[in-house]
Every structure is written in structure tokens, then in C-alpha cells.
Structure 1
Amino acid sequence: MLYPNTLEQKLGFDKLRERLKELCISSLGQGFVEKIRFSENFGMVEKLVSQTAEMQRILELGENFPSQNYIDATPYLKRASIEGMLLTQPEFSDLKVSLLTIRLCLRFFESQEADAFPILGEYAKTIRVEKAVTDAIDRIIDDRGQIRDSASSELSRIRKRLISEQAGIRKKLDTILKSARSNGWIGDDVSLTVRNGRMVIPVAAEHKRKLRGFIHDESATGQTVFIEPTDVFESNNEIRELEYEERREMNRILHELTAYIRPFVPDLQKAYGFLGLMDFLRAKARLAGEMGAINPPFENRQFIDWREARHPLLHLSFQKQGKKVIPLNIELQEKQRILIVSGPNAGGKSVALKTVGLIQYMFQCGLLVPMLEGSSMGFFQNIFIDIGDEQSLENDLSTYSSHLTNMRHFLSMANKRTLFLIDEFGTGTEPGLGGAIAEAILENLTKSGAFGMINTHYTNLKVLADKTEGLVNGAMRFDGEHLEPLYQLEIGRPGSSFAFEIASKIGLPKAVVARAKEKLGTQQVNFEKLLKELDIERRVFAEKNIEIGIKERKLTKQVADYTALKEKLENNEKKIVNEAKQKAKNLLSDANQLIENTIREIKENKAEKEKTKTVRTTLENFGKNNLKLAEVTESQPAEEEYEPEGGDITPGSYVRISGQTAIGEVLSVKGKDAEIRIGDLKSNVKLNRLEKVSRKTYRAATGDKGIKAAYRGVDMNERMLNFSFNLDMRGKRGEEALGLVDQFMDNAIMLGYDELRIVHGKGDGILRTLVRNHLRGYKQVAGMYDEHADRGGAGVTIVKLK
């Protein structure tokens, strides 16, 4: 239930309805806009909003969804269903192009995965446009909307004769025209023309007796007459008869075609209902795009949990002016159902109230809503509002009487499924009495379990909200130092009206302000003063909290860096010791082996002096070389420095195996395993055994400094097989898209391609601009341009490489 009847106008939904009509392409979609109604059925709301969200996704992805020829042909079909009626040539032309649009829509949904667009896809399956119908129309009507010569053999014969007769009469008239021109009866610039469907010659009035024939017309000035020469009179009659025959034959063809499509009229009418819905949903999706609207999670219970909600109309208006709306964060739950908002006049209370009402209303009308991801929508069966001056001379109602009439309806009809909104609660009568009545009404509304938002200046209502379960105070923030509204809603504390401060700023005499404070009483003055001081202190502490938060994050990072460095040093120490032990073991083994071999050779050669001397020299050299190796090992750092790098390990990352010095490149990641390449060796390693390192570290470890080094370990044949010159990045975000472009360009340049194709979709052109600006940074790019209109147009960029 909605109350009052003027709710749409008071909230401003009528302006959104007008904007939707402007965004529709045809009267079909505008008809759906007229039928928009607030729904009290949860399932219906969910379906309507989901349909809009699916269409929004279609438009955002830049899919090739039809955007023209949404023509309303339902009046033609209604007439075609009547026996004996026929549709005209222009009407069949409209049918032809609009049925093509319907078939393109259906073909789009047929080409998608079953779960891509579940609601619209299922609906599309119920629509039938028989190919026989479109083929029959296409056989008769050409692409220019004219009846084809081949529509019938008789029509073809008539048109051939007509062309022949027209050529013959034109030949005769040209001869007569030349003769008249040579005799000076007509000027050199005069040519043949048509009057009353007959070909005639314009002749100067003074020479009209010199040319035998029938005068059909004269110019406005009377200086020129249009004569049909006697020699072509019969030929013109013949042409006129052929034109009558052509018209009769065309009517016969159209009559037969109308009769042919008559049995299909019910299916076609349903198809045009589908076409109208597509136009309507496109308009809703485009409006959502203008507002930055989303489809938040929707639950069948009463609550409000919105993050950065924006007034839709204010957002659209500010957008044109290049300004931004200050968003609203609001949460109403079971224990805090009714929000009492206070604060100074012109502080944004009424806008906040209308934002809540309009967003809830438009969502339950099937529109997406302008708020941030992370928000959630509740469901209300009733929306009651009391906004504005409802003074009525006809019913002899004052403003206050009108408010009380609304309150009577609220009190009798409000329940747990109701959302009510009251602006300037209790005003319009003596403040003491008005405050008391307002408090009593509020107590009853609280008992009803309804959800609501109330704007007020009454202190007694702020006090009641502070001590009553189900109520919560809220304030429109105000800069108490500079006396300027901030237009931000803060839930949990009441707001001050700042009446005395604003009065002083405007320039009222100080004595008047002081006298007013005396009359008000110290209790109320102290209350307002306390609210003002609390607001200033809250802002100071908020700034301090931000500074402390920054320092804490900095300290946490430094502790983490210290811990990581400590662990690294400890691991390096263990590694150095283990490597030294292993080298010593290997050195001892080699020495023993050499000594044994030396002894054996001395024995085998029976201590020949020369041979013994040679073997002894070899042994001495071995000792000197290992001594130098030990000195070099001691003089060099124990371990190479590795620059760690944060972030997840993805294909293309450079990694080091924990506990080893080997560094490689990640080729692919599958689950908890990664395929890496170290030199020419490929291997599968668990992700938890890998440490991500910087590109600088990788180059230092592999000696990767030139082009040849860059290609080391690259399987060129495999890369050529897997590479495609076409890159589809629709639906990607900015950073992710540019990363794909870089990888794509690296491979293309390496493999020597001279032309590439990047599919980014049309949308608002943001991704297209981002990609092209990025590509201009490549010196290998010779130029860029749009793909042919038949193959994607502005949704595809062709890249020419040097």
C-alpha cells in the first residue's frame, strides 16, 4: 500500500519515469514505462530487478545486441487479423525491419550459455517468429521497402511495359523539346516535367499557341504553361493505364501476403511484446549506467543497509554540472527501526529523507539503485510519507490538520512491513503542544513495529529516541566552527539546530541573541551548547584516529619487515654452514682419491723419477687450486642477495625455490601447483615452496642482459602454436586489461606479427581509450584504427606494427 496518492510526485519518481521514456527507442518501450508500478510481491520485484541487471550486463560487456528498429507494429497486426483487410507497402516494410530486430534478439540469447542470462534467456525461448513469415515478406518487400519486380510475373510484365512506354514517350518529348528550344519558344535551361501524372513541356505563355497540345497547368506567375503535346497524348494514356494495372496488381500481392501472415498473428503479437520489453529493459539499464546503479542483494525481510546511497535525481543533475552528490550511509535494523534525524535547517535532512523513500520505491518498481557494492535491500509492502505542505482550501484543512490526517492513517495502517517517512514532524502548531503530540504518535508507531525516518527539531523527541528501544538518533553533520552544513548523515547521536549560531552569523544584534537565550532557559541552552561541543570534539578525535591509524600501519609494516629480514639472515646462515660442510666433504673426497691414484701410479711405474715428478706436480697443483678456491669462497658473499616481491604468484612471475639458489619463471598455475622453467628445464613445484622475486633478481641470477638471454628457454614453436592475433578483453578491469595487452604485445613483437586485433567492446568507450593510450607508448606500433562496422566497428581496435 502506498500513501498518499501523490507519493510518486512527492518523491520525484515521475521525473525518473520521464527520463526512462526519453531513453526508450519506440512507443513499445514507452508503453512499458507507463505501466511501471510499485510491487508488493517479493518474487515479482526480484524478477523485475534481475531482468534489468541482466540487460545492464549485456550492455556493459559491449555485446552486439540490437539497438535500432524497435518499431511498434501491433496496430498493423490487429488490422491484419481481420478477414479481407490488407497491410500497405510501408507497413510491411516496418514489419520486415522490426521482425529482423526480434530475430536478432532471439539469436543473441540462443548464442549464449544457458546460465549467462537465465531470466531473459528463458523468456526468449517462449517467443516464436516463423522463418516462413520473414521469408514471405522478404520475397515481396526489398530492403528499400518497395515491392520487388519478382513479386509476381504479372507485376514484372507490367513494369517492363511501363519502362518501355516511358522511354518511348521521353524520346518523343526530347525531340519536341529540342525543336521548341531551337524555335525560341522555351529557354535553354528548361527540361521535361510531370503534371497530374503526365509528362509535359514548360512553354512560355506567349508561345503556347505555337505548340499543339493540352495545357495541364500554369506557373504561379502565369508566365509559363505546361503543355502535353498531341503526339504523346496516347502514350501518356497508355502509361496511366499501366500505372493503374500496377497498382491493382500490387494490392492483390499485398492482400495475399496479409492473408498468408494472418494465422501467425498471435505469435507475432507476443513477439512484439518481447521487443517492447527489450526496449524497456535497455532504457532501464542505460538509466542505471547514468546513475552508477547496481543490483544489491535482496532479502525478504524488513531492513535498510545502504552504503554511499545517492539521491537519483540529484545525482543526474549534479553529473551535468560536473559536481558530486555527498552519499548517504544508513542502516535500520530490528533494534533500531526508526531513525530520528535532527540538525539545522538547509542541512540536508529533507534530501536524506527523500533519498530513502525514492530508492526503496524505485527498487520495488524494478529499477537498479545508486549505491555502493556491499549494500543490501530489504522488502516493504507499505510506504507511507508525510512530506511538504498539504494545506487544502477545498477541505478547509490547515497545514497542521493535514499532517494530523496523515498521522491518523499511519497509526491505523502501519505494521511490521511498513516504511514511513515524516518530514518536520510535529510542526505547524504551538511548539509545546506539537512536541507532546508528536511524542505520543512516535510511541505508538514504535509499538507497531514499523520502520521509518523522521526529521525534527524537537528536543523531547531526541531524548525519547535516546532511551527507547527501536529508536535511534541521527544528525546531519554541521561544521560548528565555520557554521556550514556538511550534508553527511551520522547515526547514533542527535544534532543541534545551531539556531543561535546561525542567527549570529546572519547578523542579528548580539543583544537580541543574548535575550533569546535568557528566554529559552539555561537547560535548553546548555543542551544545544553540549551538542555543538560534542560535534567539534568528535571531528577532532576523528582526525586523531586517522593519524594514529596511519602510524599503527607504518609500525606494523616495519615490524613485519624486521621479522622477515631476521628470518632471512637466519636461513642464510644455516645455508652457508651446510654448503661449507658439503664443499669440505667434497674436497676431502677428491683429495683422498687423488692421493690414492698418485700412489698407484708411482707403484705401477716403479718409482721412475720423471713420472713420479709429474704425478707429484699434479698433486701440488691440485692443492694450490683448492686453496685459491677456498680463498675466493671466503672473500665472496655467502649468498646472493634476493629482492623479494609481494603479491600472488601468477603466470609470468619470477620465483625462487625455498632453500635453493635456482631462480625461474612461472609458466602456469593449477590449484596448489605451479609449472616453472629454470633455464631449459621445466618442472612442477608446490606453490608453498616458491618465493616471489623481482625481475632485477631474475636477470642478475640468469645473466639475462641481452635479447638472446631474453629468449633463453623459450619454446618458440610452442609459443607460435599457442599465440592468437586476436585478444578479447571484454569485461576486464583497467589494470588487468593493460597487463593482458603488455603480454599480448610482447608475444606479437617476438613472433614478428604485423597486424593485431584487440576486442574491447563499445560501452562508454572507457576501455577503448585506455587501451589505445597505452598502445601509443609502444614504439613498434605504426598505427591504430576501428575495425570494419560489420566486424565490430568501434568495439574492436586494429593495431599495425612496424
Structure 2
Amino acid sequence: MLYPQNIEQKLGFDRLRDWLSEACISPLGRRFVEKIRFSDNFTLVDKLVRQTAEMKQILQYGEDFPSQNYLDVTPYLQRAAIEGMLLTQAEFFDLKVSLSTIRQCLVFFGKQEPEAFPLLGEYAQSIRVERSVTDAIDRVIDDRGQVRDNASPELAQIRRRLIAERADIRKKLDSLLRTAKNSGWIGDDVSLTIRNGRMVIPIAAEHKRKLKGFIHDESATGQTVYLEPTEVLEANNEIRELEYEERREINRILVLLTDQLRPYLPDLQRAYQFLGLMDFLRAKAKLAVQMEALNPQFVNRPSVDWREARHPILHLSFQKQGKKVVPLSIELSQKQRILIISGPNAGGKSVALKTVGLIQYMYQCGLLVPMRDDSTMGFFQNIFIDIGDEQSLENDLSTYSSHLTNMRQFLARANKRSLFLIDEFGTGTEPGLGGAIAEAILEDLTQSGAYGVINTHYTNLKVLADKTDGLINGAMRFDGEHLEPLYQLEIGKPGSSFAFEIAYKIGLPKGVIERAKSKLGTQQVNFEKLLKELDIERKVFAEKNLDLGIKERKLAQQLAEYTALKTSLDNNEKRILNEAKQKAKTLLSETNQRIESTIREIRESQANKETTRELRAGLEKFNQQNLKPVLVEEVPVPEVDFEPEEGAIEVGSYVRIKGQTAIGEVLALKGKDAEIRIGELKSNVKLNRLEKVSKKTYKLATGEKKTRAGTAGVDINERMLNFSFNLDIRGKRGEEALSVLDQFMDNAVMLGYDELRVIHGKGDGILRTLVRNHLRSYPQVGTLQDEHADRGGAGVTLVKMR
């Protein structure tokens, strides 16, 4: 249930309805716009919103979806249902192009996977447009909307005769025209023309008697007459008769074509209902794209859990002005059902209230909503609002009486599945009495279990919210130092009206303000003062928390980098030790074998001292060759000549840390900090510790030509830039193809790609088998499968990595 009846005008939804109507291409879509209604059926709302979300996805990524010729031909179909009636050429042309649009829509959904667009795809499957209908129209109506010459043998013969007669009469008239020009009866720039469907010669009025014929018309000045010479009178009559025959034959063809259409009218009516829905959904999706709206999680219970919601109309208006709306984050739950918003005038309370009402209303009308994707939309069966001045002279209602009338409706109808919105609660009468009545009404609304948002300046309502379960205070933030509204909602504490501060800023005499404070009483003044001080303290602590959070993130990042570096060093140490142990083991084994061999030779040959000495010398030489330490030559590291570069540091700049040789690239700027990458490490550094260097310096310092070990470096960025996940090896021999495939897989593994495409063609399947068998030898490869039939089928292998 909705209250009041003009709720759409109160919330501003009527302006969104007008926007949608203008965005529709045809009356078919506009009729759907007129039927938009708030729904209290959860399943229906979920379906409508998901349909819109699917169409938004189509608009953003579906290039093949048609965007024109959404024509409304339903009146033609209604007339075609009557026996003996015919549709005109123009009407059949509209039918032809709009049926083409319908078929394009159906083909689009037919190409998609069922899970891509489940709702619209399922609906499209129920629509039938018989090929015989479109073929019959195409055989008769051409692409210019005219009946084709070959629509019937009779029509083809009539048109051939017409062409011949017109050519013959033109020859005769051209001859007469030349004679008239040579005789000076007409000017040299005069040419043949048509009057009353007959070919005539324009001739000066004073010479009209010099040519025999029939005058059909004269110019506005009377100086020129349009004369049909006697020589072509019969030929023109013949042409007119042939034109009548042509018209009769065309009518006969169109009657037959209309008769062919008649049995399929029910299917065509449903098809054009589908076309109208597509036009309507396109309009809703366009609105969603412009508002940056989406479909958040939708739950079948009363709830408001929104992150960065934006007032739709304000967002569209600000967008044209190049400004941004301050987003609203709000949460209403079972424990905090009713939010009491307070704060200064012109601080954004009413906008926040209308944002809640309009977004909830438009969502339950099937539209996407502008908010962050981690938000949650609840479901309400009733929405009640009390916004604006409802003073009525006819019904003898004052502003306050109208508010009380609305409150009576709220109290009578509010339940656990209701959402109510009240702007300036309790105003319009004596403040003390208005506040008391408002407090009593609020107590009853709280007991009803309803959800709501209330704007107020009354202190007693703020106090009630602080001590009552189900109520929660909220404040529109205000810069107490500069006395400017921030338009941000803060839930959990009441807001101050900042009346005295605003009075000071406006320039009200100080004495007047001081007397006002004394008349108000110390309790209220202290309350307002406390709220102001709390707001200033909250701002100070928020800044400190932000600074602390930045430091904690930096510490966590540096700790992670340290841990990663330590792990890497430990692993390298273990690897080097393992390699050294393995080499020592091998060397020891060879040494033992050599010693045993030497001893065996001495024993077997019973060698003399000289032979023994030679064998021992050989063993000593072996030990010196294999156990002598290898001197490691230090490779001098070339000094880098740092070339500074003028200009401010920005994303993509090359920089070095002052006093150090490390050079990196700027990835992002965050206030006074910069995120830079040095090699594989990332770090945040203060901007004042960095200096900008040239690209040449960066290349020299990072060893683009040679690494310190003298081997060629690997430029990951360049590989990533030049790498394509598509590999085409069609036409290559087996050995050549496998070589290219190995290089492709090495780059893919290094760059971390999840899915690859190898195009090998179908042929006899030999190359495909060879490629797939080779790919299975890679441990990083997960699955291999054929590409979709529309994109290559068995001629392409999809490689999904582990």
C-alpha cells in the first residue's frame, strides 16, 4: 500500500518516468512505461529487476543487439485481422523492418549460453516469428518500401510497358522541346515536367498558341503555362491507364499478402509485445548506465543496508553540471528500525529522507538503483510519506492539521513490513505541544514494528531515540569551525541545529544572540554546546585514526615485504647448501675411487719407489685440480649518471630515492605519499624523498641491456605488453608448431594467464592431436577442450591452466 496518492510526485519518481518515456524508441515501450507500478510481490520485483540487470549487461557488452526499428505496428495487425482488408506498402515496410529487429533479438539470445541471460533468454524462446511470413513480405516489398517488379508476372509486364511508353513519350517531348527552344518560345534552361500525372512542356504564355495541345496548369505569375502537346495526348492516356492497372495489381498483391499474414496474427501480437518489452528494458538499462545503478542483493524482509547510495535525480542533475553527489550510507535493522535525523537547516536532512524513499520505490518498480554493490535491498509492502506542506484551503486544513491527518493514517496502517518517512516531524504548531504529540506518535510507531526515517529539530525526540530500543539517532554532519554543511549522514549520535553559530555567521547582533541564550536556559544551551564539542572532537579523532590506519598499513606492507625477502633468502641459502653438499658428495666419491684405484695399482704391480712416487704425484695433481678454491671475479658495476628530469612527479614517472641508487616507477599517488615499484618490490615513500629521473637513467640503472652477471635481462612488462593469449599455428609443420607452442607456453606460465586459445585448424586433425598431446605434458595445464562452435569449434583448443 502507498500513501498518499501523489507519492510519485512527492518523491520525484514522475521525473524518472518522463525520462524513461523519452528514452523509449516506440509507443510500444512507452506503454510499458505508463504501466510501471510499485509492487508488493517479492517474486515479481526480483524478476523485473533481474530483467533490467540483464538488459544493462547486454547494452554494455552485446554489440549485436539491435538499436533501431522498434516500430509499433499493432494497429496494422488489428486491421489485418478483418477479412478483405489490406495493408499498404508503407505499412508492410514498417512490418518488414520491425520483424527484422525482432528476429535479430531472437538470434542474439539464441547465440548465448542459457545461464548468460536466463530470464530474457527464456522469454525469447517462447516467441515465434515464422520464416514463411518474413519471406513472403521480402518477396513483395523491397528495401525501399516499394512493391518489387517480380511480385507477380502481371506487375512485371505492366511496368515493362510503362517504361517503354514513358521512354517513347519522352523522345517525342524532347523533340518538341528542342523545336520550342530553337523557335525562342521557351528559355534554354527549361526542361520537361509533370502536371496531374502527365508529362508536359513549360512554355511562355505569349507562345501557347504556337503549339497545339492541352494546358494543364500555369505558374503563380501566369507567365508560364504547362502544355501537353497533341502528339503525346494518346501516349499520356495510355500511361495513365497503365498506372491504374499497376495500382490495381499492387492492391491485389497486397490483399493476398495480407491474407497470408492473417493466420499468424496471434504469434505476431506476442512478438510485438516482446519487442515493446525490449524497448522498455533498453530505456531502463540506459537510465541505469547513466546513473551507474546496479542490482544489489535483494532479501525478502524489511531492511535498509545501503552503501554510498545516491539520490537518482540529484545524481542526473549534478552529472550535467560536472559535479558529484555526496553519497548516503544508511542501515535500518530489526534492532534499529527508526532513524531520527537531526542537524542544521539546509544540511541535507530532506535529501537523505527522499533518497531513502525514492530508491526503495524505484527498486520495487523494477529499476536498478545507484549504490555500491555490497549493499542489500530489503522488501516492504507499504510505503507512507509525510513530506512538504499539504495546506488546503478547500478542506480547511492548516499545515499542522494535514500533518496530523497523515499521522492518523500512519498509526492505523503501519506494521512490520511498512516503511514511513516523515519530514520536519512535529512542526507547524507551538513547539512544546508539537514536541509532546510527536513523541507520543513516535512511541506508537515504534511499537508497531515499522521501519522509518524522521527528520526533526526537537531535542525530546533525540533523547527518546537515545534511550528507546528500535530507535537510533543520526546527524547530518556540519563543519562547526567553518559553519558549512558536509551533507554526510552519521548514525549513532544526534546532531545540533547550530542555530546560534549560524546566527553569528549571518551577522545577527551579538547582544541579541546572548539574550536568546539566556532566555533558552542553561540546559538546552549546554546540550547544543556539548553536541558541537563532540562533533569537533570526532573530527580530530577521525583524522588521527586515519593517520594511524595509514601507518598500520605501511607497517603491514613492510612486514610482508620483509617476510617475503627473508623467506626468499632462506630458500636460496638452503638451495645453495644442497647444491654444495651434492657437489661435495660427488667429488668425495670420485676422490675415493681415485685413491682406491691408485692403491690397487701399487699392490697389483708391486711397484718400486719410483712408480709409487709417480702414482702419488698423479693423485696429488688430481686433488689440486678438483679441490682448489675457484676465485670469483668481481664484475664492476658501472656507475649510473643520474639525469634529473623537470616537472611534477606523477603516475608513470621514473624516480629515485634521494641519496640512494635504487630507481623505480611510480604506480600511484596517495596524498603526500607515492607507491613505487623497485624491481619486484613495492613500497610507499614520501614524495619529498623522491626526485624525478629520465627514462634513459631508469633503463641504465635497471640493467635493461645487461644484468650484473653479464647476461641478458628479462623485461616482464614488455613481454606482458606484447603477449597475446591467442596463438595461431595454422599452416605450420609439426616440429615448427611445437617450437612456437613451447615459447608461447613459457610466456603464458611466466605471466600467469588462466586461459589460452591455440588455433590449429580442423583439417585431418593431425596437428590438433599433436598439439594436445604436447600440451598434456605441461604440469601447469588443467583441461583442454574445443572452442564454442560459433568461434571455431574443433579448430581451436581452449587451454585452462591450473
TM over 0.5: yes
Change (3 A) 1:200 1:608: farther
Task: Report the equivalent of 1:256.
Answer: 256
Q: Does 1:717 align with 2:737?
A: yes
Helix, strand or coil at the partner of 1:486: strand
Matches within 5 A, 1:302-381: 302-381=302-381
Q: Deviations for 1:38-76, whole angstroms, at most 9, x for unmatched residues?
A: 001111101100100111111121331011110000000
Task: Report the equivalent of 2:431.
Answer: 431
Change (3 A) 1:695 1:6: farther
Matches within 5 A, 1:29-68: 29-68=29-68
Task: Report the equivalent of 2:402.
Answer: 402
Q: What letter is aligned with 1:271?
A: A
Task: Report the equivalent of 1:24.
Answer: 24
Change (3 A) 1:739 1:218: farther
Q: What letter is aligned with 1:210?
A: K
Question: 1:470 offset after TM fit, Å?
Answer: 0.6
Asked if structure 2 preserves the Cα contact closer than 8 Å seen for 1:347 and 1:485, the reply is yes
Helix, strand or coil at the partner of 2:383: strand
Helix, strand or coil at the partner of 1:85: coil
Task: Report the equivalent of 2:689.
Answer: none
Aligned length: 672
In 2: Cα distance, 1:634 partner to 1:249 partner:
101
Q: What letter is aligned with 1:339?
A: L
Q: Deviations for 1:455-477, whole angstroms, at most 9, x for unmatched residues?
A: 00000000000001010000000
In 1: Cα distance, 2:579 partner to 2:237 partner:
114
Change (3 A) 1:536 1:102: same
Change (3 A) 1:310 1:695: farther
Asked if structure 1 preserves the Cα contact closer than 8 Å seen for 2:703 and 2:713, the reply is no
In 1: Cα distance, 2:299 partner to 2:348 partner:
29
In 2: Cα distance, 1:145 partner to 1:64 partner:
24
Task: Report the equivalent of 1:289.
Answer: 289
TM-score normalised per structure 1: 0.79
Helix, strand or coil at the partner of 1:478: strand
Helix, strand or coil at the partner of 1:477: strand
Matches within 5 A, 1:170-319: 170-319=170-319
Q: What letter is aligned with 1:333?
A: S
Matches within 5 A, 1:621-640: 621-628=621-628, 630=629, 632=631
Structure 1, gaps ≥5 residues long: 637-653, 656-693, 725-737, 745-790, 792-802
Change (3 A) 1:271 1:546: same
Asked if structure 1 preserves the Cα contact closer than 8 Å seen for 2:400 and 2:428, the reply is yes
Q: What letter is aligned with 1:242?
A: L
In 2: Cα distance, 1:238 partner to 1:409 partner:
81
Change (3 A) 1:705 1:427: closer
Change (3 A) 1:557 1:175: closer
In 1: Cα distance, 2:183 partner to 2:576 partner:
118
Asked if structure 1 preserves the Cα contact closer than 8 Å seen for 2:328 and 2:488, the reply is yes
Asked if structure 1 preserves the Cα contact closer than 8 Å seen for 2:24 and 2:283, the reply is yes
In 1: Cα distance, 2:237 partner to 2:445 partner:
88
Task: Report the equivalent of 2:104.
Answer: 104
Q: Which moved more, 1:353-362 or 1:567-576?
A: 567-576
In 1: Cα distance, 2:193 partner to 2:32 partner:
49
Question: 1:122 offset after TM fit, Å?
Answer: 1.0
Q: Which moved more, 1:572-581 or 1:501-510?
A: 572-581
Q: What letter is aligned with 1:152?
A: S
Task: Report the equivalent of 2:512.
Answer: 512
In 2: Cα distance, 1:699 partner to 1:77 partner:
78
Task: Report the equivalent of 1:472.
Answer: 472
Helix, strand or coil at the partner of 2:53: helix
In 2: Cα distance, 1:69 partner to 1:740 partner:
42
Q: Does 1:390 align with 2:390?
A: yes
Question: 1:622 offset after TM fit, Å?
Answer: 1.4
In 2: Cα distance, 1:351 partner to 1:332 partner:
17
Task: Report the equivalent of 1:529.
Answer: 529
In 2: Cα distance, 1:742 partner to 1:298 partner:
33
Matches within 5 A, 1:117-196: 117-196=117-196
Question: 1:701 offset after TM fit, Å?
Answer: 8.8
In 2: Cα distance, 1:108 partner to 1:567 partner:
53
Asked if structure 2 preserves the Cα contact closer than 8 Å seen for 1:203 and 1:226, the reply is yes
Matches within 5 A, 1:520-599: 520-566=520-566, 578-599=578-599
Task: Report the equivalent of 2:80.
Answer: 80
Matches within 5 A, 1:436-447: 436-447=436-447
Matches within 5 A, 1:90-101: 90-101=90-101
Task: Report the equivalent of 1:619.
Answer: 619
Question: 1:409 offset after TM fit, Å?
Answer: 0.6
Change (3 A) 1:721 1:132: farther
Q: Deviations for 1:751-786, whole angstroms, at most 9, x for unmatched residues?
A: xxxxxxxxxxxxxxxxxxxxxxxxxxxxxxxxxxxx
Q: Deviations for 1:708-738, whole angstroms, at most 9, x for unmatched residues?
A: xx99xx99623756999xxxxxxxxxxxxx9
In 1: Cα distance, 2:267 partner to 2:535 partner:
66
Q: Deviations for 1:775-801, whole angstroms, at most 9, x for unmatched residues?
A: xxxxxxxxxxxxxxxx9xxxxxxxxxx
Q: What letter is aligned with 1:718?
A: L
Identity, in percent, stands at 73
In 2: Cα distance, 1:422 partner to 1:627 partner:
92
Asked if structure 2 preserves the Cα contact closer than 8 Å seen for 1:349 and 1:476, the reply is yes
Change (3 A) 1:567 1:204: closer
Q: Deviations for 1:507-544, whole angstroms, at most 9, x for unmatched residues?
A: 00000000000000000000000000000000100111
Change (3 A) 1:588 1:721: closer
In 1: Cα distance, 2:610 partner to 2:319 partner:
99
Asked if structure 2 preserves the Cα contact closer than 8 Å seen for 1:605 and 1:611, the reply is no
The alignment's C-alpha RMSD in Å is: 3.0
Asked if structure 2 preserves the Cα contact closer than 8 Å seen for 1:418 and 1:451, the reply is yes
Structure 2, gaps ≥5 residues long: 636-678, 681-701, 723-728, 730-734, 745-750, 758-790, 792-802
Question: 1:111 offset after TM fit, Å?
Answer: 1.1
In 2: Cα distance, 1:380 partner to 1:201 partner:
78
Question: 1:27 offset after TM fit, Å?
Answer: 1.1
Change (3 A) 1:231 1:91: same
Q: What letter is aligned with 2:481?
A: E
In 2: Cα distance, 1:183 partner to 1:447 partner:
105
Task: Report the equivalent of 2:655.
Answer: none
In 1: Cα distance, 2:519 partner to 2:618 partner:
115
Question: 1:5 offset after TM fit, Å?
Answer: 0.9
In 2: Cα distance, 1:468 partner to 1:143 partner:
73
Q: Deviations for 1:194-241, whole angstroms, at most 9, x for unmatched residues?
A: 001100001111111111111111111111111100000000000000
Task: Report the equivalent of 2:3.
Answer: 3
In 1: Cα distance, 2:174 partner to 2:569 partner:
105
In 1: Cα distance, 2:189 partner to 2:754 partner:
63
Question: 1:554 offset after TM fit, Å?
Answer: 2.6
Change (3 A) 1:607 1:37: same
Asked if structure 1 preserves the Cα contact closer than 8 Å seen for 2:36 and 2:365, the reply is yes
In 1: Cα distance, 2:568 partner to 2:106 partner:
61
Question: 1:116 offset after TM fit, Å?
Answer: 1.3
In 2: Cα distance, 1:324 partner to 1:15 partner:
20
Q: Which moved more, 1:82-91 or 1:581-590?
A: 581-590
Question: 1:281 offset after TM fit, Å?
Answer: 0.4
TM-score normalised per structure 2: 0.79
Asked if structure 2 preserves the Cα contact closer than 8 Å seen for 1:517 and 1:525, the reply is yes
In 1: Cα distance, 2:110 partner to 2:123 partner:
11
Q: What letter is aligned with 2:139?
A: R
